[in-house]
Amino acid sequence: MLSRLRSITDALFRRDRFEHTLSDEMRFHMDAYAADLVKSGVPGPEALRRARLEFGPVESLKEDARQARGLRLLDETRQDLRYAGRQILRSPGFTAAIVLSLALGIGANTAIFSLMDAVLFRALPIKNPNELYYLAHGRKGNTSSNYPLLERYRAANIFSGVTAYEFQTFRVRTPAGVERENGSYVSGNFHAVVGVPFVIGRGFSSESDRDRGANPIAVISERYWTRKFARSADVIGRTLSVDGRTVTIVGVTAAEFTGLAPGWHLDITLPMSIKGLGEPTFFDARDGWTSLSLVGRLKPGVSEAQTLAAVNTVFQQFWMEPENAWARKIVQARVEGFFAHRDTAQSAGDIPPGALVPAGLGSDELRGRYTKPLRVLMGLVGVVLLIACVNAAMLLLARASVRAKEVAVRMSIGAGRARIIRQLFSESLMLALGGGMLGVLVAVVSSNAIVALFNTGEYPVLIDTSLSTRVLFFTVAASLVTGIGFGLAPAFRATRVDLTPALKSAAATIQRATRLPAGRTLVTAQIALCVLVIATAGLLVQSLRNLRTFDAGFARERVLLFNVETTAPAFTEASRTAFLSQLLDRLRAQPRVVSAAYATRTPLDFSSELRPVAVPGYPAPADVGASAHVVTAAYFQTLGIGLVRGRVFTDQDRAGSPNVVIIDEKFARDYFGEADPLGHVLVLGAEKQAMTIVGVVRNVRHEQLRNDAPRTVYSPLSQPAVGIDGRALSPDRLTTMIRTSGDPRALAASVREQVRQLDPNALVYYTRTMRQQLDAALVRERFLATLSTGFGLLATVLAAVGLFGLMAYRIARRTGEIGIRMALGATRARVLRQTLNESLVLSVAGVVIGLGATLAATQVVSAFLFGLSRHDPRTLVTVALILLATTCLAGYIPARRAARVEPMRALRAD
Amino acid sequence: MPKTADVLPGTLDMLILKAVSLKPLHGYGVLLRIAQISNDALQIPQGSLYPALYRLEHQGLITAEWGESDNKRKARYYTLTPAGRRRLKEETASWNRLAAAIAAALGATPNEV
């Protein structure tokens, strides 16, 4: 074995020496034999001649010796590659067409795959990520929880560590103004339990969360360190002003760690004890669920099943405690009602089981939202690659028939069929790898553009699509499969040559070539695939347009939103109230401002909450509470929310006057049916605040554009408002909104100036239009629509090129025939019509098949559609027309060339 | 001139191994030695020796190194390796069995059937 390896490597790497040895040895043999012959009396020159003669054919013997060394396969492969290279270079246009088609196809696939890799497959860069689990409940792994539940798990001592984090958009005061940064509040043991890697400094060291404000420290990310501190080593000990509190930086996390949730960069991490400062009831509140995520690391040697059993016991015991009555109700409400699509799949009244959700890949929030869209896109982009493959196969097929004669010659002088197939394959593999390499470039460029699609709005999704080994492996595999895929048919076809006619005359080859029935099938398939991609894109684009324009109950245009930071110590409660009322007056006085208002929540700002509600005497069908908003008088006017009956708030609704409330139509219908709700009393929240209903407004889709919002109640900011579930409302989280008479963006600068003039300590941040906020909520839809449109365009271009190539090729082959027909009296118009008809037949067949396929396949995207059915006739007809027009154009150019054939020239040419 | 015979297919390797088992030889020497030990009865096409030598070397049954020939010229000398020696023994045994069997078969008389 070893000797074989050595003899091969010797022969490979010391090829010259091998050849020398062989020649020297053979020469020595002949000389020695000649010398012996001379000794036996043969004259010198004659001896040498006889020696050579008896030795035999030197070159062929050498070849045999080489083969004995296993060099022949190598030589042949090298020959094949050289031959393929020559072929490729000989027809640069042909090569460019194939390589470019493939590069676009493979590149698009690589881009989507690298996105999938980043979102779906990448494991967290922490120690033993497989030991980490989210502590959830319900069959679908609902991760909502609260702090008392965390303490319960800790006390049960099931895990080697249990920790928790909650996403937060922090407001950081810098000399340049207030900047919003992604971050989290985490429990004191977070860094230790998760095993977060650090560049410098340390993580939190298990400080107690309940020591409110005792540890004003922060950990920042490597990204933030680079951006804000230029990677300065003395960052440890510096301070930040976050949400009005000064914290000291103690550590910088390593670059590869971006938090537990893919897409959400954990730039600033604060201990939960600071959260406790602003929200004192947080640690004990059991009247609802929070977005706190609980994470536990398994004890060494304890299995997942054992741990799950213990978790289940703890959770179910906690669940049934009387303090959790409201929390139970909310989960059930979500099961039955508005949130059914995003929550647990248990029936009301069930005790949900405790659940463990693997956390090794991070939280599944982004995965949950993007798995399906990414699969859809991967499917579309796969179809695009198929179209590109068909293009390449068709071009090769066309050329194979041109090369039929060459192949016949080579086969007739003894080349084996396998050898020729191998040769043609080396060519297609070379083309595919070329396409793949160029494709990586395409992927890198387009990934950046795709990632930018996500990076918008209040919650930018940050994805790292840098090429991983997995992605490169995918690309190489895709290229190889592609190369084999499109090379197979042409290679076999080319070698299935009937030698005699192929050699007899050029005319014979033309006869064969003009038919090329495989080409027609391929073009039809291409057009059908193309219809599938474009129709899908069309449905998604139309849905996006519907989502952007349908009436969701609030105005989308001419509304400017911004926030003002008025935190302590610059503001006291009293100075803040005064400031807010003055600011509203100032804004209203601005030119081009129609109205101005404050609200605790704005449509589609990703907030969601339910509060207990009751109307004495009117039991609701399912008593599940309502979504509560605190607003100022002009709120309804500013957002264009229509009043159905009663009145909106006025300046008379203030502290001391009777508490009032406005409800939406859904609330009115559910509680009062046809009766008049005005004048009835509504009791809101755990604190049971009684308010009189004074108005009914139209329903607004506050939370999701696709679904009705929960029943909604609005209470005036001017009356003693109790915040979310009994916790004091923090007015520094108010959003300011103004309705403008022109482009709202034009007012952004003057608004900032007004605020600065009123109080230099108040800082405007997060200025956006309602349109922008809406678009931020449609990132997923836009992502799907944009990319599928891109792929649709790509597919169309590729298919058009394919049809064009086929028709041009057929016409070029048939120049002689056309010449004869014209010589016999066919008019140019007739030739044009005939050739055009030919491509039209292919397009129509393709479109019909494609529409059939679309009707069958768009089931997978129906969940993303809005305002139209997946059989939407308008979209389908439009797609059909677009494709017919495109293919007609692609067929027209070669047809016109056919009609221009000069009969005499064409006849002479043959 | 004695009667000559062509080498049976597959037996050339065996003859080469036998030739170099006696003493290290260069290619031409192998040819002469086979002629000598077969009493000039076996004719080997001269050139075909080399592919066979290279194949045996590739299989690790013989090794080669440069040495000096009787007439002071550089020549490649082949030596049997231990693996080659084993192979020669096997091949000799199996050839003898085959030859005996064929001889027995050809020597059969009507009486023995």
Cβ proximity of A447 and A114 under 8 Å: yes
What residues contact residue A399 under an 8 Å CB cut-off, 6+ apart? A91, A94, A490
The reply to whether residue A56 touches residue B26, judged by beta carbons under 8 angstroms, is no
Instruction: Give the A-side interface with B, CB within 8 Å.
Output: 1-4, 7-8, 21-22, 24-26, 28-29, 31-33, 35, 54-58, 61-62, 64-65, 67-70
CA A49 to chain centroid: 77
CA torsion sign, A678 to A679 to A680 to A684?
positive
Cβ proximity of A598 and A734 under 8 Å: yes
Q: Average pLDDT of chain B?
A: 83
d(CA B23, CA B40): 19
**Angstroms from B77 CA to nearest CA on chain A:** 10
Cis before A322? omega within 30 = no
DSSP state, A322? G
The reply to whether residue B73 touches residue A4, judged by beta carbons under 8 angstroms, is no
The reply to whether residue B50 touches residue A56, judged by beta carbons under 8 angstroms, is no
A114-118 contacts: CB < 8 A, separation 24 or more?
A: A114/A443, A114/A447, A114/A465, A114/A467, A114/A468, A114/A471, A115/A374, A115/A447, A115/A450, A115/A451, A115/A463, A115/A465, A116/A374, A116/A378, A117/A465, A117/A468, A117/A470, A117/A471, A117/A474, A118/A262, A118/A463, A118/A464, A118/A465
List beta partners, residue A356: A135
Cβ proximity of A486 and A430 under 8 Å: no
- A161 occurs within a structural domain: yes
Q: A413 and A340 share a domain?
A: no
Give, rounded to a whole angstrom, the gap between the first and last alpha carbons of chain B.
Answer: 39
CATH class belonging to B5-107: mainly alpha
CA torsion sign, A295 to A300 to A305 to A308?
negative
Per-residue pLDDT, A626: 87
Per-residue pLDDT, A621: 65
Q: A588 and A691 share a domain?
A: yes
- A217 occurs within a structural domain: yes
Q: A434 and A316 share a domain?
A: no
Q: A608 and A627 share a domain?
A: yes
What residues contact residue A873 under an 8 Å CB cut-off, 6+ apart? none
Cβ proximity of A123 and A129 under 8 Å: yes
Q: φ and ψ at A617, to 5 degrees?
A: 95, -15
Q: Which of B27, B48, B58 sits opposite A7 (nearest CB)?
A: B58
Q: A331 and A397 share a domain?
A: no
**Angstroms from A34 CA to nearest CA on chain B:** 11
What residues contact residue A558 under an 8 Å CB cut-off, 6+ apart? A594, A739, A740, A741, A742, A743, A744
The reply to whether residue A65 touches residue B51, judged by beta carbons under 8 angstroms, is yes
3-class secondary-structure state, position A248: strand
ipTM exceeds 0.90: no
User: What token pair was written down for A19?
Assistant: 């050849």
Write the DSSP string, B22-89. HS-EEHHHHHHHHHHHTTT-EE--GGGHHHHHHHHHHTTSEEEEEEE-TTS-EEEEEEE-HHHHHHHH
Tens digit of each residue's pLDDT (9 = 90 or more) over A838-895: 888 989 999 999 999 999 888 888 889 999 998 999 999 999 999 999 888 888 888 8
Chain A interface, mutation test: which of B1, B12, B16, B28, most A Cβ atoms within 10 Å? B28
Q: A608 and A578 share a domain?
A: yes
- A766 occurs within a structural domain: no
The reply to whether residue A69 touches residue B54, judged by beta carbons under 8 angstroms, is yes
CA A621 to chain centroid: 41
Chain B interface, mutation test: which of A25, A27, A37, most B Cβ atoms within 10 Å? A25
Residues of B in contact with A33 (CB under 8 A): 28, 46
Chain A residue nearest residue B43, CA to CA: A54
Per-residue pLDDT, A338: 38
Token pair 């989960």 in the structure block, residue = A331
User: What token pair was written down for A334?
Assistant: 């979500």
Q: A597 and A511 share a domain?
A: no
d(CA A216, CA B27): 89
Count of domains for chain A = 5
CA A109 to chain centroid: 12
Q: φ and ψ at B77, to 5 degrees?
A: -100, 130
Per-residue pLDDT, A514: 46
Final residue of a structural domain among A730, A761, A792:
A761
Q: A229 and A310 share a domain?
A: yes
User: What token pair was written down for A557?
Assistant: 């245009």
d(CA B81, CA B60): 7
Cβ proximity of A220 and A198 under 8 Å: no
- A253 occurs within a structural domain: yes
The reply to whether residue A26 touches residue B51, judged by beta carbons under 8 angstroms, is no
Planar angle of CA A83, A88, A90, nearest 5 degrees:
95
* Residue A230 backbone zone (phi > 0: left; psi -120 to 50: alpha; other: beta): left
B contact residues 65-84, partner A, Cβ 8 Å cutoff: 69, 71, 73-76
d(CA A573, CA A566): 9
Please tell me if residue B47 touches chain A, with a CB cutoff of 8 Å. Answer: yes
Chain A interface, mutation test: which of B28, B34, B54, B73, most A Cβ atoms within 10 Å? B54
Ranges in chain A, pLDDT < 70:
1-13, 70-73, 287-288, 326, 329-350, 401, 456-460, 497-517, 620-624, 686, 721-732, 907-910
Residue span of the structural domain in which A167 resides: 129-360
Write the DSSP string, A225-242. HHHHHTT-GGGTT-EEEE
Q: Where are the domains of chain B?
A: 5-107
User: What token pair was written down for A252?
Assistant: 């910088």
Q: A404 and A390 share a domain?
A: yes
Per-residue pLDDT, A79: 78
Q: Average pLDDT of chain A?
A: 84
Final residue of a structural domain among A313, A337, A360:
A360
DSSP state, A122? P
Q: A347 and A452 share a domain?
A: no
How many residues does this entry show for chain B? Answer: 113
- A365 occurs within a structural domain: no
Final residue of a structural domain among A360, A386, A410:
A360
Write the DSSP string, A258-309. --SSTB----EEEEHHHHHHH-GGGGT--SS-BS-EEEEEPPTT--HHHHHH
Tens digit of each residue's pLDDT (9 = 90 or more) over A110-149: 999 998 888 888 888 888 899 999 998 887 778 888 899 9
Token pair 């939280």 in the structure block, residue = A363
Q: φ and ψ at A194, to 5 degrees?
A: -75, -30
A–B interface: beta-carbon pairs under 8 A? 78
B65 vs A263 pLDDT, higher one: B65
Cβ proximity of A361 and A122 under 8 Å: yes
Chain A residue nearest residue B73, CA to CA: A28
User: What token pair was written down for A279?
Assistant: 């929200």
The reply to whether residue B58 touches residue A64, judged by beta carbons under 8 angstroms, is no
pTM higher than 0.80, yes or no?
no
**Angstroms from B28 CA to nearest CA on chain A:** 5
Per-residue pLDDT, B113: 60
Q: A791 and A734 share a domain?
A: no
3-class secondary-structure state, position A41: coil
